Structure 1
Amino acid sequence: MKSSAKKIELASVDDLFSTEESRQDEQLEKIQEIPLSELHPFKDHPFKVKDDDAMIETADSIKKYGVLVPAIARPLPDGGYELVAGHRRRRASELAGKETMPVIVRDLDDDAATIIMVDSNLQRENLLPSERAFAYKMKLEAIKHQGARTEVERQRPGGKRSR
């Protein structure tokens, strides 16, 4: 004989004693101070990080004022973080003698991470044409891959496309 009782889900203690505002605040991105040793370069990062005059100026600025704009990184499966944006800031922090730097950690797939990495570097003035070309190629491949994935998601099980 089947029971007519419905399963009741109870709220957690945290849900009972927290406000909607505090629950929403927990979901916001936060800037974290992460050790430089845990920040690893983006795979196939096409831009050179040079110890030139501009790097020395950046390191001097970080010594005086700290890192003004946080880097963006994503968690690595085996621990640590992959830098998506902020390779020069990481190197300048290292030169400035810092042990940590501010980072926004995001869960990003490979395509989104590639697009952010490329877009965050393309505005730099002193890119080599080869770096710029390779970066655009990487971005195009990521966009194509996202488009292909979106197209697959649009397919219905019967093979018909949804509108």
Structure 2
Amino acid sequence: MPKRKTDFDLPTLDDLFSTQEERDEAKLDKIRDIPLELIDDFPDHPFHVRDDEDMQQLVDSIKTRGVLTPAVLREKEDGRYELVSGHRRKRACELAGLSTLRSEIKDLSRDEAIIYMVESNFQRSSILPSEKAFSYKMRLEAIKRQAGRPKAENGVPVGHDSLVGKSREIIAAQSTDSNTQIQRYIRLTHLIPELLDLVDEGSIKMRPAVELSYLDYDYQKDVLEEIEVTQSTPSHAQTIRMRKMQDEGTLSTMAIREIMSEEKPNQKERIILRGEKVRKLIPKAVPIEQTEDYIYKAIEHYNKFLSKKRSERDSR
């Protein structure tokens, strides 16, 4: 028996019994200039809007030619509008000094709007891991709700339920990422923000990041502190050990410190000075930003002292 389309895919009666010209006119009727003050951003929008060089180019384009592709809005019950697609265009209009945004008003449910928002933003040429992570999670939850599954099933962790797996397969069939890779991205949503930032920067790779996502919040904070101290990130093998130790109940702050202090094959030898041991030896009047210079001068002075001692010993 062929699979039934969702209501989101079914054509309306107007579509079936109207000409293309009539449909085009109807669409134009839904395109209006909406005041920016009436437009609310999409709740928990996972894609960043940056005031970078690309944004400035978009601002210049809008100043010259206007908004060529209308944003997509859905009307809210209070008469305001929710921005589904076009967050960069809205920001560019603000920077360009415009008061309205050329928009198409679509009749979308909450879950249809989530799916539309994610799909439209995935057309971007560059997407950060964190953006993929939260957008995949939002879309997965929307698809599960559309399927009418009980709330108890919706709460099952990713990767531990066949229904969740089927929802990921639906997403994978429509994206360049595999089912497994989508599962990895969604795991990134369990990282503390500081570690997720390092993933976006490329400092932490995907697989180590996934392993770290299974650590408790406090242990993730310990890992972050060690990254700052050692100026190096954990390898995949090290994160696997941390996760295994947590599962066995043997992970601790000291264990994380010992693992992170190990020298990795591609890591140059580093000298590590821990703040709690060094700071008490430095006068309180020395600002934190001058600590390194103070330590260097102290070591230099100590070397001169040792050299003088050796000279006195040799002269006897």
TM-score range, shorter chain: 0.7 to 0.9
Structure 1 segment 1-163 matched on structure 2, within 5 A: 28-29=26-27, 30-148=30-148
Aligned length: 128
Superposition RMSD in Å: 1.9
Q: Tell me the residue number matched to 1:156.
A: none
In the superposition, relative to structure 1, how do residues 50 and 25 fare at CA in structure 2: closer, same or farther (>3 Å)? same
Which deviations, in whole Å up to 9, do the C-alpha atoms of 1:117-157 show, x marking residues without a partner? Answer: 001111212221011111011111111111127xxxxxxxx
- Give TM-score, length-normalised by structure 2: 0.38
SS of 1:148's equivalent in the other structure is coil
Q: Please give the alpha-carbon distance, in whole angstroms, between the structure 2 residues aligned to 1:84 and 1:74.
A: 7
Q: Which runs of 5+ in 2 are unaligned?
A: 1-17, 150-316
Kindly state the Cα deviation for residue 80 of structure 1 after the two structures are TM-superposed.
1.3
Which deviations, in whole Å up to 9, do the C-alpha atoms of 1:55-79 show, x marking residues without a partner? Answer: 1110000000000000000111112
Greater helix content: 2
Greater strand content: 1
Kindly state the Cα deviation for residue 28 of structure 1 after the two structures are TM-superposed.
2.3
Kindly state the Cα deviation for residue 26 of structure 1 after the two structures are TM-superposed.
10
Q: Please give the alpha-carbon distance, in whole angstroms, between the structure 2 residues aligned to 1:83 and 1:109.
A: 13
Instruction: Kindly provide the amino acid, as one letter, of the partner of residue 110 in structure 1.
Output: R
Q: Please give the alpha-carbon distance, in whole angstroms, between the structure 2 residues aligned to 1:100 and 1:40.
A: 13
Q: Please give the alpha-carbon distance, in whole angstroms, between the structure 2 residues aligned to 1:41 and 1:85.
A: 9
SS of 1:118's equivalent in the other structure is helix
- Give TM-score, length-normalised by structure 1: 0.73
Runs of 4+ aligned residues of structure 1 deviating over 6 Å after TM superposition are: none
Higher Cα Rg: structure 1 or 2? 2
